[in-house]
């Protein structure tokens, strides 16, 4: 028996709070099998609650530690763990977790290992920005500054003595009207010496935890961030997010309006006028909300404008710090855009804003996710998550991973394709479902063409938000949903309302919630895992307002159409195929997000939570008909784990009357 399997089966269950988990053991066995297949990318799905993260930490630690005993090249073994959420990154390195890993290594008589965390710079303090906020020349001067309060001096002391990780900072120490983002490091800020030293140590660690954005950069720069070399193992948790993150990171966009305004603010009037002319000539209200290829004339005009911008030689000392940072960001994007123009890239397009048709030039990176195959022959790669498969299979059917494979350009027959396994929890917590009947259309169109929650929907949905005691988490599809519900909120329940607004750290908000608070947020679908309180779930009630379906990317649709037309597919047929491809992609992303949202309710085997699903397209288990124009989609049921399907079938269905009318079509259908 492998020592990790023995530890999970016989030793770990002896610790308080742990029990033997056959699913966790099977998951660990799959990882052990995968380690024997270097050069492969393995898909190993593990349901929430099976002990996935601890299992892979033990397996990876065992593999690295055994390499040290082997000596030679194998003594340099390392493991990289990449995640999407900061919360999971921190959770992996919690003292309790590392204590179990160390206990295993001692039990197996293996050498102890070093663990490190490398996060993006926006998670760390900028000493210069904090000093500016406190009104002192430097943080060292803060201790003698008479105008600072005791708390503000304590804040300055913390900044000098720690590595400056903002996740460790008590938000109560911040000055009034100051957010964490105001004092965070930005793209071109100098890195503090303490942080730079920490990063050097991280590059030498045995097990390094990073995020997907850093991983994408590391892969395309051949290990510049992690210094990882063969032999090593790369494991991506929350792996379904990597394609979108890599695509966003490696694509570039320049807004002509923003560039023009910035150049005017920098008093570069000659070049600003050139960009203003380009903006006026390319603005097209008739093309609002769509994307198109650049004409030869537009390419030439854009190239000329970018050349003029790159010829500018500005001095940092002549401009405000924030404006200087914006200029550096614009210049970097312009340089990348110029390179794409010289290459005559097929992936350049004009993206027109939805209402006014303002142009933005996009250099798309459709194959960015395939960067994961870079250097794959030199390592073992695992992709894991609770929502890795397409989730569109019926209970009992074998899951498939078509979405992830298409994003990675890794068909099942590819030489790098490895294991494909899925492990689902048999029992983990209790969900009670409630699906109200006959709610009106959630969306209404505003005068400017945007859509928002309809006021009558808010009024009829609010009673289902307010009728449960204890903390309630309300997952919204956007911040505009939050604003609409907040505007309709009844005064007598104002003491329970906590509306999460952009720019405010969600973890900070959750840390201060009262026991009867109702939190409205679009940012809590994943990674939000507060600790249980009083031996019960942190959230007593979870509400999903509506389908969090992503908006179709007009740029991506246009580029797919162009690719099909180059293969002699007609324009109309190409448009239909492209739209269908993106809708299928968005369906999978929607199922992932819904499953993740449901996962916020349960973080412990004994949790018992009421889940209210207001989304009208989720079929009511009784077969009760939806309102006119709303088409129930059975595919959405893929978001509900199989072990909770019986609970769904026994769901409460308040409201509504027996209906005999037939549904009719409405343009809002596609938006729900």
The whole-number pLDDT of residue 461 equals 93
Helix (H, G, I), strand (E, B) or coil at 663: coil
The whole-number pLDDT of residue 659 equals 41
**What is d(CA 103, CA 119) in angstroms, rounded to the nearest whole number?**
27
pLDDT > 60? residue 278? yes
Instruction: Give the confidence band of 672 by pLDDT, cuts at 50, 70, 90.
Output: very low
The whole-number pLDDT of residue 396 equals 60
Burial class (CB in 10 A: 0-12, 13-18, 19+), 388: buried
Determine the average pLDDT of the residues in 550-573.
87
Q: Which residues touch 608 (CB under 8 Å, ≥6 apart)?
A: 429, 430, 432, 536, 537
Instruction: Give the confidence band of 179 by pLDDT, cuts at 50, 70, 90.
Output: confident
pLDDT > 70? residue 80? yes
Name the residue with higher pLDDT: 322 or 91: 91
The whole-number pLDDT of residue 122 equals 80
The whole-number pLDDT of residue 663 equals 36
Which residues of 105-223 form beta strands (DSSP E)? 115-117, 207-211
Task: From residue 205, give the alpha-carbon distance in Å to each of 71, 116, 118, 226.
Answer: 17, 6, 11, 9
Q: Average model confidence (pLDDT) for the chain?
A: 87
**What is d(CA 480, CA 472) in angstroms, rounded to the nearest whole number?**
19
The whole-number pLDDT of residue 657 equals 58
Burial class (CB in 10 A: 0-12, 13-18, 19+), 496: middle
* First-residue to last-residue Cα distance in the chain: 51
Instruction: Give the confidence band of 553 by pLDDT, cuts at 50, 70, 90.
Output: confident
The whole-number pLDDT of residue 538 equals 92
Instruction: Give the confidence band of 170 by pLDDT, cuts at 50, 70, 90.
Output: confident
The whole-number pLDDT of residue 145 equals 84
The whole-number pLDDT of residue 312 equals 93
Determine the average pLDDT of the residues in 96-113.
95
Comparing 254-258, 279-283, 558-562, the range with the smallest average pLDDT is: 558-562
Which residues of 128-226 form beta strands (DSSP E)? 207-211
**Cβ-defined contacts of 587-590 (< 8 Å, 24+):** 587/392, 587/549, 587/635, 588/390, 588/391, 588/392, 588/403, 589/244, 589/403, 589/549, 589/550, 590/547, 590/548, 590/549, 590/550, 590/636, 590/639
Determine the average pLDDT of the residues in 546-571.
87
pLDDT > 70? residue 90? yes
The whole-number pLDDT of residue 346 equals 84
Instruction: Give the confidence band of 164 by pLDDT, cuts at 50, 70, 90.
Output: confident
Q: Are 153 and 173 in contact (CB under 8 A)?
A: no
Comparing 169-178, 191-200, 276-285, 381-390, the range with the smallest average pLDDT is: 169-178
The whole-number pLDDT of residue 155 equals 87
The whole-number pLDDT of residue 452 equals 84
Please state the pTM of the whole predicted model.
0.81
Instruction: Give the confidence band of 496 by pLDDT, cuts at 50, 70, 90.
Output: very high
The whole-number pLDDT of residue 448 equals 66
**What is d(CA 280, CA 383) in angstroms, rounded to the nearest whole number?**
46
pLDDT > 80? residue 199? yes
Buried b vs exposed e over 82-108: b needs ≥16 C-beta within 10 Å? bbbbbbbbbbbeeeeebebbeebbeeb
Comparing 83-92, 200-209, 462-471, the range with the smallest average pLDDT is: 83-92
Q: How many CB atoms lie within 10 A of CB 317?
A: 6
Q: Are 233 and 257 in contact (CB under 8 A)?
A: no
pLDDT > 90? residue 188? no
Instruction: Give the confidence band of 449 by pLDDT, cuts at 50, 70, 90.
Output: low
The secondary structure of residue 627, as a DSSP letter, is P
pLDDT digit string, tens, across residues 375-431: 899 999 999 998 898 887 665 667 789 889 988 889 999 999 999 999 988 777 899
Element (H, E) at 414: none
**What is d(CA 105, CA 422) in angstroms, rounded to the nearest whole number?**
27
Task: From residue 104, give the alpha-carbon distance in Å to each of 49, 233, 522.
Answer: 21, 19, 39
pLDDT > 70? residue 658? no
The whole-number pLDDT of residue 395 equals 56
User: Tokens 């899925």 identify what position?
Assistant: 422
**Tokens (6 digits) for 307:** 């050349």
Determine the average pLDDT of the residues in 288-305.
92
**What is d(CA 29, CA 35) in angstroms, rounded to the nearest whole number?**
10
Order of strands across the sheet with 608-613? 430-434, 608-613, 541-544, 472-475, 518-521, 497-499
Comparing 15-24, 319-328, 585-594, 645-654, the range with the smallest average pLDDT is: 319-328
pLDDT digit string, tens, across residues 593-652: 999 899 888 877 888 999 999 988 888 999 888 777 677 788 888 888 888 999 999 999
Q: Transcribe 209-241 into DSSP letters.
A: EEEHHHHHHHHHTTSTTT---SSEEEEETTGGG
The whole-number pLDDT of residue 393 equals 63
Determine the average pLDDT of the residues in 33-49.
92
The whole-number pLDDT of residue 549 equals 86
Name the residue with higher pLDDT: 333 or 660: 333
User: In the chain, pLDDT over 90 holds for what percent of residues?
Assistant: 43
The whole-number pLDDT of residue 257 equals 93
The whole-number pLDDT of residue 178 equals 77
Q: Are 22 and 399 in contact (CB under 8 A)?
A: no
pLDDT > 60? residue 261? yes
Element (H, E) at 361: strand 359-363
Task: From residue 518, give the alpha-carbon distance in Å to each of 125, 194, 528, 561, 599.
Answer: 31, 40, 15, 44, 18
Determine the average pLDDT of the residues in 76-86.
92
Instruction: Give the confidence band of 251 by pLDDT, cuts at 50, 70, 90.
Output: confident
């Amino acid at each position: 028996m492998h020592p990790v399997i023995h530890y999970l089966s016989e030793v770990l269950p002896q610790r308080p709070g742990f029990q033997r988990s056959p699913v966790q053991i099977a998951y660990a066995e799959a990882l052990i099998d995968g380690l024997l297949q270097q050069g492969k990318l393995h898909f190993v799905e593990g349901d929430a609650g099976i002990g996935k993260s601890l299992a892979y930490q033990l397996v990876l630690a065992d593999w690295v530690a055994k390499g040290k005993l082997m000596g030679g090249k194998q003594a340099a073994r390392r493991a990289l763990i990449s995640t999407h959420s900061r919360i999971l990154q921190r959770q992996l390195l919690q003292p309790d977790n590392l204590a179990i890993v160390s206990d295993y290594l001692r039990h197996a008589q293996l050498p102890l290992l070093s663990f490190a965390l490398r996060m993006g710079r926006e998670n760390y303090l900028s000493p210069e920005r904090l000093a500016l906020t406190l009104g002192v020349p430097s943080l060292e001067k803060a201790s003698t500054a008479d105008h600072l309060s005791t708390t503000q001096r304590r804040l300055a002391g913390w900044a000098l003595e720690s590595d400056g990780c903002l996740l460790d900072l008590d938000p109560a120490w911040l000055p009034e009207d100051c957010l964490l983002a105001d004092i965070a490091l930005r793209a071109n800020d100098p890195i503090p010496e303490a942080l730079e030293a920490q990063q050097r140590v991280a590059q030498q660690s045995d097990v390094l935890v990073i995020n997907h954005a850093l991983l994408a950069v590391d892969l395309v720069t051949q290990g510049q961030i992690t210094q990882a070399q063969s032999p090593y193992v790369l494991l991506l948790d929350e792996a379904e997010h990597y394609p979108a993150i890599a695509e966003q990171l490696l694509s570039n966009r320049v807004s002509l309006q923003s560039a023009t305004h910035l150049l005017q603010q920098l008093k570069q009037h000659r070049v600003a006028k050139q960009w203003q002319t380009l903006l006026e000539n390319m603005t097209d209200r008739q093309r609002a909300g769509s994307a198109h290829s650049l004409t030869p004339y537009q390419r030439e005009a854009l190239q000329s404008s970018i050349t003029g911008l790159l010829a500018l030689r500005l001095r940092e000392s002549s401009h405000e710090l924030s404006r200087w940072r914006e200029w550096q960001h614009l210049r970097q994007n312009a340089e990348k855009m110029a390179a794409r123009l010289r290459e005559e890239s097929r992936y350049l397009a004009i993206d027109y804003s939805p209402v006014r048709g303002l142009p933005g030039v996009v250099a798309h990176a459709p194959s960015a996710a395939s960067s994961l195959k870079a250097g794959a022959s030199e390592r073992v790669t695992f992709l894991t998550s609770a929502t890795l498969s397409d989730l569109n299979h019926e209970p009992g059917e074998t899951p498939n991973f078509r979405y992830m494979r298409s994003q990675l350009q890794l068909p099942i027959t590819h030489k790098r394709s490895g294991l494909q396994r899925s492990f689902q929890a048999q029992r983990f917590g209790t969900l009670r479902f409630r699906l109200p009947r006959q709610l009106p259309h959630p969306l209404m169109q505003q005068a400017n063409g945007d859509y928002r929650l309809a006021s009558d929907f808010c009024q009829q949905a609010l009673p289902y938000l307010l009728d449960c005691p204890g903390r309630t988490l309300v997952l919204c599809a956007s911040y505009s949903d939050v604003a609409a519900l907040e505007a309709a909120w009844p005064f007598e329940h104002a003491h329970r309302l906590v509306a999460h607004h952009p720019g405010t750290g969600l973890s900070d908000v959750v840390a201060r919630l009262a026991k009867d608070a109702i939190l409205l947020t679009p940012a809590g679908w994943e990674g939000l895992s507060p600790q249980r309180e009083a031996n019960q779930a942190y959230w007593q009630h979870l509400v999903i307002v509506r389908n969090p379906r992503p908006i179709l990317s007009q740029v991506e649709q246009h580029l797919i159409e162009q690719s099909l037309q180059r293969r002699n597919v007609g324009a109309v047929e190409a448009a239909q195929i492209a739209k269908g491809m993106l809708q299928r992609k968005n369906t999978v992303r929607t199922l992932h997000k819904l499953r993740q949202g449901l996962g916020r309710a349960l973080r412990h085997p004994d949790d018992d939570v009421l889940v209210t699903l207001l989304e009208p397209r989720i079929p009511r288990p009784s077969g009760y008909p939806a309102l006119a124009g709303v088409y129930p989609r059975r595919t959405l049921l893929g978001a509900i784990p199989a072990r909770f399907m019986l609970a769904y079938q026994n769901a409460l269905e308040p409201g509504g009357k027996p209906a005999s009318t037939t549904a009719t079509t409405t343009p809002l259908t596609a938006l729900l």
